[in-house]
Structure formats: C-alpha cells, structure tokens
Amino acid sequence: MLEFIKTLDWQTIVWSIIAIFEVIVRLTPTEKDNSILNKIIWALEKLIPNKSKGKKGFTIFSKK
C-alpha cells in the first residue's frame, strides 16, 4: 500500500482528497460549506493544470 502511495504524484493526491471532501460537503444541507469548497476547487483548478484535452476542469468537478 505504501509503495502505491509513493507512485502517485502530488496532484493526484490533492484531487483525491478534494473528491472525498466534496462527497462529505454535498451530503450536508447547508450551502455555506458548498460555496467554500467551490472556491477551493476554483483556486486549485487555476494552480494545477488541466490533464484532459479540450475540457475545462476535471470531469469529477464539472458543472452540469
């Protein structure tokens, strides 16, 4: 397990943690925590380059 974690790059780890937080935040009834998470995701999308071609943002966080 530790070797698997060592093979991951820091971007994958950050987005995995954000995905876990997104599930938790979306389950809560308040909108304040949703807006805070959206701001964090927006900032991270600006700092970490997009991995997919032709799409803006990561597919897990895309707005419908």
Give the pLDDT confidence score for residue 64 in this predicted structure.
43
Distance CA 41, CA 19 (A): 10
Give the pLDDT confidence score for residue 20 in this predicted structure.
92
Task: Please give the average pLDDT of every successive group of 10 residues along the chain, which has 64 residues.
Answer: 72 85 88 88 79 53 48
The conformation of residue 38, written as its DSSP 8-state character, comes to H
Count the neighbouring beta carbons within 10 Å of the beta carbon of residue 21: 15
Where in the chain are the domains? Answer: 2-48
Long-range contact set of residues 46-51: C-beta below 8 Å, sequence gap at least 24: 48/11, 48/14, 48/15, 51/11
- Locate all alpha helices (DSSP H) within the chain, ordered by sequence: 2-7, 10-27, 32-47
